[in-house]
């Protein structure tokens, strides 16, 4: 029972001061922060996974043979033979034009028509995507090909330089997850303090109720109902604000037209988690209140 | 005195105290060696100087306090070892008038009086009649919706008494129930206790009021002196006969 049913006449036993204390507001703030941290965690975890998948099976072969004609021949031959291997999904030669354009951004001419840049000997690059996860074996096999077709060329696995980025993003996701847990603990602490304060405030009433034969269960339901309703208001408010913030961020990231599409990048599971959190919070608050109240009442005869 | 099981053990006592002592915290005992039996349907006055321990004794009687030592039995069951969860059932059979009233301040007189019935789960349509009747009987029908703070001391006391008797308890415990009312009202309230007593309720009234005591011939006296029960004849421990 999250919000216990209490007869109307019994509800009057607690004077009606709904939303008067700080509890709903503190809960609202904690809920909002929890949802934002959870959204950040889900988003980061998903991009870490995306990067991880993209780089796990990809290497670039860099051919630096000095003679440009020989270099081009080696590159073409290697690309052809690599593409023919069963463990290779695709092998693609990076166009010299594409390389120039990339480097041109550093040289100050986006088209790559800078004279200095034109005079630079650029290496030939071949991107190879493997099939399956046994990257080390594939690299060994590719190394044999490279030795035959383009001696002296280097094989650069993408995981080597993008891996640390993916790991950083993943550890940020873990930090976000830890924040969600800590805020759940803080919320439970707020509920415990609220329940204890309520018992203190109404001690005389509780003593009286005990003496005329009220059970702990009856008294607990009375208080649990009030606390559950107050925290539910706070949770609803915090959820609304968090939803507004998330939509705003998504909208800013991706421009006016595809705002909703961008926020959908949290994925179905991500949105499911975000929707489940407020409901879990309401249940957690009610159960915490209930346990606190029962434990405290046991100390009174 | 050693009973050893062969003594004249009174059958069916409503309340039995045997060698009961009570101390608050580490201080000396405020009640010592209290032994008595209360017979069903009897009427008792508890007297004693201020501070003699009357309220303390009544607290054990209405289950607000467990004794520090000795045996307390209520309705034939040992209260000292009784688990907490069984106490509410016993408390619903006891009506209490507190020395300091203890009305719930944010409830109207009507809701205060109805409280024991509601706690016991009586339906609203079944309790409206008795509560209204009780309100008229204590002369507060017009003030039914008044909060305790807006009532005079005597009016609050009447509400407290109405709350204690509304559920027809088997045992009524009243601590100075007439301390704040005029002599006429005191007699009226005593009449209510007597009427309940005639219907079978065991009544225990702690009071200093000599007039009150002289009004009920059949009542038995219990006297506390500095935390000990004065029982020169032993009648409280071994009542001559059951008087129903
Ligand atoms: N909660 C308590 N903690 C400590 N001592 C207490 C407590 N209640 C009562 N006492 C002490 O126990 C003794 C008996 O008190 P009690 O209230 O039982 O007396 P009483 O006979 O009811 O007095 P009165 O006629 O003034 O109401 C007193 O000395 C009092 O100071
Ligand atoms: Mg007293």
Flag if B111 and A9 touch (Cβ within 8 Å).
Answer: yes
pLDDT at B233 over 60: yes
Q: Is the dihedral of CA A100, A104, A110, A111 positive or negative?
A: negative
The token pair that represents A227 in the structure block:
């606390």
Q: Concatenated DSSP letters for B50-61? A: TTSSHHHHHHHH
* B88 interfaces chain A, CB cutoff of 8 Å: yes
Residue A4 burial class via C-beta count within 10 angstroms: exposed 0-12, middle 13-18, buried 19 and up: middle
* A210 interfaces chain B, CB cutoff of 8 Å: yes
Q: List phi, psi (to 5°) of A18.
A: -60, 140
Q: Is A152 helix (H, G, I), strand (E, B) or coil?
A: coil
Whether B92 is in a domain gets the answer no
Q: How far apart are CA B204 and CA B213, in angstroms?
A: 12
Tally of structural domains, chain B: 1
Starting at the edge strand found earlier in the chain, the sheet holding A154-157 runs A88-94, A124-130, A58-63, A154-157
Q: How far apart are CA A225 and CA A229, in angstroms?
A: 6
A54 or B167, which is more confident? Answer: B167
Q: Is the dihedral of CA B230, B235, B237, B243 positive or negative?
A: negative
Residue located via tokens 């005990």: A210
- Mutation target vs A (from B55, B63, B104, B149; most A CBs, 10 A cutoff): B104
pLDDT at B7 over 50: no
Name which of A12, A212, A218 is nearest B116 (Cβ-Cβ).
Answer: A212
Give the distance (Å) from ligand 2 centre to CA of residue B57: 9
Whether B144 is in a domain gets the answer yes
The bound ligand whose nearest atom lies closest to the alpha carbon of B174 is: 2
In chain B, DSSP finds a helix count (H) and a strand count (E) of: 7, 10
Query: What mean pLDDT comes out for the span B145-168?
Result: 91
* Ligand 1 atom index nearest CA of B54: 21
Q: How far apart are CA A278 and CA A266, in angstroms?
A: 17
Counting as low any pLDDT under 50, the low residues of chain A are 256-264
Q: What pLDDT score does A255 carry?
A: 57
Q: Is the dihedral of CA B221, B223, B228, B233 positive or negative?
A: negative
Orientation angle between helical segments A23-56 and A158-201, nearest 10 degrees: 160
Within 8 A by CB and 6+ apart from A210, the residues are: A219, A300, A301, B87, B88, B91
The token pair that represents B179 in the structure block:
């301390």
Name A88's bridge partners. Answer: A130
Site to probe by mutation for ligand 1, drawn from B21, B24, B208 as the one with most ligand atoms within 8 Å of Cβ, is: B24
Strands (E), B98-201: 171-175
Structure confidence by residue, pLDDT tens digits, B12-71: 788 999 999 999 988 888 999 999 989 999 999 999 888 889 999 999 999 988 899 999
Residue A42 burial class via C-beta count within 10 angstroms: exposed 0-12, middle 13-18, buried 19 and up: buried
Is there an atom of ligand 1 within 6 Å of B59 CB?
no
CA distance B90 to chain A (A): 7
Q: What pLDDT score does A237 carry?
A: 94
pLDDT at B116 over 90: yes
Residue located via tokens 């940020």: A172
Query: Judging by DSSP bridges, how do beta strands B69-74 and B43-48 pair with one another?
Result: unpaired
Q: How far apart are CA B45 and CA B203, in angstroms?
A: 8
Whether B122 is in a domain gets the answer yes
Q: Is the dihedral of CA B178, B180, B186, B192 positive or negative?
A: negative
Q: How far apart are CA A35 and CA B243, in angstroms?
A: 72
Residue B241 burial class via C-beta count within 10 angstroms: exposed 0-12, middle 13-18, buried 19 and up: exposed
The token pair that represents B173 in the structure block:
């415990």
Q: How far is CA B101 from the centre of its chain?
A: 13
Q: Choose among B168, B170, B142: nearest CA to B155.
A: B142
- Give the rounded percent of residues in chain B with a pLDDT score beyond 90: 43
Residue B3: pLDDT band by 50, 70, 90 thresholds? Answer: very low
Q: Choose among A255, A210, A25, A228: nearest CA to B63.
A: A210
Within 8 A by CB and 6+ apart from B176, the residues are: B99, B206, B207, B208
Size of interface A-B (CB pairs under 8 A): 56
Name A91's bridge partners. Answer: A128
Structure confidence by residue, pLDDT tens digits, A212-255: 999 999 999 888 888 888 889 999 999 999 999 988 887 776 65
* B123 interfaces chain A, CB cutoff of 8 Å: no
Considering just the CA atoms, what is the radius of gyration of chain A in Å? 31
Q: How far apart are CA A266 and CA A70, in angstroms?
A: 48
Whether B48 is in a domain gets the answer no
Is there an atom of ligand 1 within 6 Å of B70 CB?
no
Q: Are B174 and B205 in contact (CB under 8 A)?
A: yes
The token pair that represents B59 in the structure block:
């607290």
Q: What pLDDT score does A17 carry?
A: 64
Q: Which ipTM score applies to this complex?
A: 0.84
Whether B37 is in a domain gets the answer no
Residue B115: pLDDT band by 50, 70, 90 thresholds? Answer: very high
The token pair that represents B206 in the structure block:
């702690």
Between residues 45 and 84 of chain B, which touch chain A (CB distance below 8 Å)? 62-66, 84
Residue range(s) defining the domain that contains residue B137: 105-167
- Lowest mean pLDDT segment, chosen from A15-19, A52-56, B136-140, B175-179: A15-19
Name which of B84, B85, B92 is nearest A213 (Cβ-Cβ).
Answer: B92
Q: Is the dihedral of CA A247, A250, A252, A258 positive or negative?
A: negative
Whether B133 is in a domain gets the answer yes
Residue B7 burial class via C-beta count within 10 angstroms: exposed 0-12, middle 13-18, buried 19 and up: exposed
Is there an atom of ligand 1 within 6 Å of B53 CB?
yes
Q: For chain A, give every domain's residue range.
A: 8-52+163-300, 65-152
Q: What pLDDT score does B9 carry?
A: 44
Residue B82: pLDDT band by 50, 70, 90 thresholds? Answer: confident
The token pair that represents B39 in the structure block:
């017979």
Q: Choose among B70, B90, B89: nearest CA to B80.
A: B70
Q: What pLDDT score does B6 carry?
A: 37
Name A105's bridge partners. Answer: none
Flag if A205 and B87 touch (Cβ within 8 Å).
Answer: no
Is there an atom of ligand 1 within 6 Å of B26 CB?
no
């Amino acid at each position: 029972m999250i919000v216990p049913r209490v007869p109307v006449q019994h509800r009057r036993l607690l004077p009606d001061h709904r939303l008067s204390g700080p509890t709903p507001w503190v809960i609202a703030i904690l809920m909002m922060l929890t949802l934002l941290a959870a959204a950040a965690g889900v988003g980061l975890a998903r991009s870490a996974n995306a990067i991880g998948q993209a780089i796990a099976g990809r290497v670039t072969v860099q051919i630096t043979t000095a003679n440009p004609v020989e270099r081009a021949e080696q590159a073409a031959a290697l690309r052809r033979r690599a593409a023919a291997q069963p463990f290779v999904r695709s092998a693609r030669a990076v166009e010299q034009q594409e390389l120039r354009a990339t480097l041109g951004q550093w040289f100050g001419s986006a088209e790559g028509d800078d004279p200095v840049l034109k005079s630079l000997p650029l290496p030939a690059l071949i991107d190879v995507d493997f099939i399956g996860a046994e990257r080390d074996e594939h690299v060994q096999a590719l190394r044999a090909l490279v030795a035959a077709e383009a001696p002296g060329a280097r094989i650069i696995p993408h995981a080597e330089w993008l891996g640390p980025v993916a790991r950083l993003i993943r550890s940020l996701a873990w930090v976000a997850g830890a924040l969600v847990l800590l805020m759940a603990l803080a919320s439970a602490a707020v509920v415990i303090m609220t329940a204890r304060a309520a018992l203190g405030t109404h001690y005389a009433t509780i003593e009286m109720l005990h003496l005329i034969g009220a059970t702990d269960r009856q008294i607990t339901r009375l208080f649990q109902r009030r606390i559950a309703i107050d925290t539910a208001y706070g949770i609803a408010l915090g959820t609304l604000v968090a939803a507004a913030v998330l939509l705003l961020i998504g909208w800013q990231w991706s421009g006016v037209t595809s705002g909703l599409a961008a926020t959908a990048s949290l994925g179905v599971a991500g949105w499911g988690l975000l929707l489940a959190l407020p409901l879990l919070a309401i249940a957690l608050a009610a159960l915490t209140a209930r346990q606190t109240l029962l434990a405290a009442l046991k100390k009174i005869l | 005195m050693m009973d050893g099981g062969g003594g004249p053990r009174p059958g069916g006592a409503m309340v039995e105290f045997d060698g009961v002592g009570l101390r608050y915290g580490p201080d000396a005992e405020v009640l010592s060696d209290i032994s008595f039996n209360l017979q069903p349907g009897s009427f008792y006055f508890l007297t004693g100087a201020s501070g003699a321990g009357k309220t303390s004794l009544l607290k054990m009687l209405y289950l607000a306090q467990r004794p520090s030592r000795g045996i307390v039995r209520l309705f034939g069951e040992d209260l000292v070892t009784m688990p907490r969860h069984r106490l509410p059932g016993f408390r619903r059979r006891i009506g209490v008038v507190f020395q300091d009233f203890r009305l719930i301040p944010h409830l109207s007189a009507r809701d205060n009086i109805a409280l024991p019935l509601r706690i016991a789960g009586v339906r609203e349509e079944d309790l409206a009649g008795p509560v209204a009747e009780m309100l008229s009987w204590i002369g507060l029908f017009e003030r039914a919706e008044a909060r305790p703070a807006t009532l005079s001391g005597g009016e609050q006391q009447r509400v407290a008494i109405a709350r204690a008797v509304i559920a027809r308890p088997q045992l009524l415990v009243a601590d100075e129930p007439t301390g704040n009312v005029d002599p006429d009202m005191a007699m009226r309230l005593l009449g209510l206790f007597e009427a309940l007593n005639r219907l079978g309720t065991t009544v225990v009234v702690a009071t200093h009021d000599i007039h009150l005591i002289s009004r009920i011939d059949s009542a038995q006296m219990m006297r506390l002196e500095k935390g000990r029960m004065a029982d020169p004849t032993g009648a409280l421990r071994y009542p001559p006969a059951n008087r129903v």
